[in-house]
Structure 1
């Protein structure tokens, strides 16, 4: 279920890239992410880049709406899949580097500030966002049957900060 939601998410990015006439150079799959290597980012305007980044979470949101409506009107047991899509949408919209929300924030900030300043700002916001995400992760862990998925996300964000594994434009 989660893998299919990730495919929907990445398909949203790819669809917008193709609409704007860009083709990915390479798509790589690793344990933690699917990376779309796009060498034409620098040639596109901010609006096109913003829409390409935004359309991944938006595709998950649209999928959530459609599946939720199907659930409401037919009673089909697809509610978990709807919530997986909503969760992936919301998680990716967090203003955290290496997530779509961090990329969107970088695009917006770089219109007003230098790329270096925008990158620093997103890194600081990422660091600040870690605390509430970690607290929520521990609350979920202690109130569930050992669901540590949000803490795993925190670990990924921390490692991204340490190794500067961000991919800003």
Structure 2
């Protein structure tokens, strides 16, 4: 579960406009991320059920009958879309004709880089956790990959807790991402996925 709360200054209309634009750009970036997963499905002729946004996150529901190789592309396409948007916006930012467009492009660039990096953390249910498990499955048997991915995810969950507090302190953004410690523990024990 991912919830993002951003301080909004309602007393100043100019800041309110920027705050609302930030929230819109964040939701748009998450939506495009999820459409990236849907695109990964469609490229491989995997049926897409729906794309859902919720509480600062989302998911792309698709046919469960996919191979591990198909899943690798589907999972990777979300962060790939974010990285592509980051690159495009970064290249266009210096060409912005005014301050408002510069701010939109710079903010969109920053949001997409942050989303890509955040989603690549090897924690379930983030894309990084899924991709780490799938790629480990190429090197070791899947039951062993599950245990390793669970252990790495468990350590990453514990390391992420101070980062959540630092995001509030450094950026004024409260990020509530509650990774599933029980899921990772079950993976370590070989009883999940």
TM-score (norm 2): 0.71
Instruction: Please name the residue that 1:134 is paired with.
Output: 161
TM-superposition CA deviations, 1:87-114 (whole Å, max 9, x none): 1010001111101111111111223334
TM-superposition CA deviations, 1:102-150 (whole Å, max 9, x none): 11111112233343332222221111112332222223333454x321x
Aligned-pair CA distance for 1:40: 4.6
Preserved CA contact (<8 Å) 2:83 2:112: yes
Aligned-pair CA distance for 1:65: 0.9
Structure with a larger share of its residues in strand: 2
Distance 1:12 1:143, change over 3 A: closer
Ranges in structure 1 where 5+ consecutive residues have no aligned partner: none
Instruction: Please name the residue that 1:161 is paired with.
Output: 181
SS in 2 for 1:34: strand
Within 5 Å, give how 1:13-162 maps onto structure 2.
Answer: 13-31=37-55, 33-42=57-66, 44=67, 46=69, 48-74=70-96, 76-78=102-104, 79-145=106-172, 147-149=173-175, 152-153=176-177, 156-157=178-179, 160-162=180-182
**Moved >6 Å (runs of 4+):** none
Query: Relative CO higher for 1 or 2, CA cutoff 8 Å, sep ≥ 6?
Result: 2
Preserved CA contact (<8 Å) 1:106 1:122: yes
Distance 1:19 1:8 in 2: 16
Ranges in structure 2 where 5+ consecutive residues have no aligned partner: 1-24
Distance 1:73 1:61 in 2: 19
SS in 1 for 2:103: coil
Distance 2:84 2:171 in 1: 29
Aligned-pair CA distance for 1:20: 0.8
RMSD of the TM alignment (CA)?
A: 2.5
TM-score (norm 1): 0.80
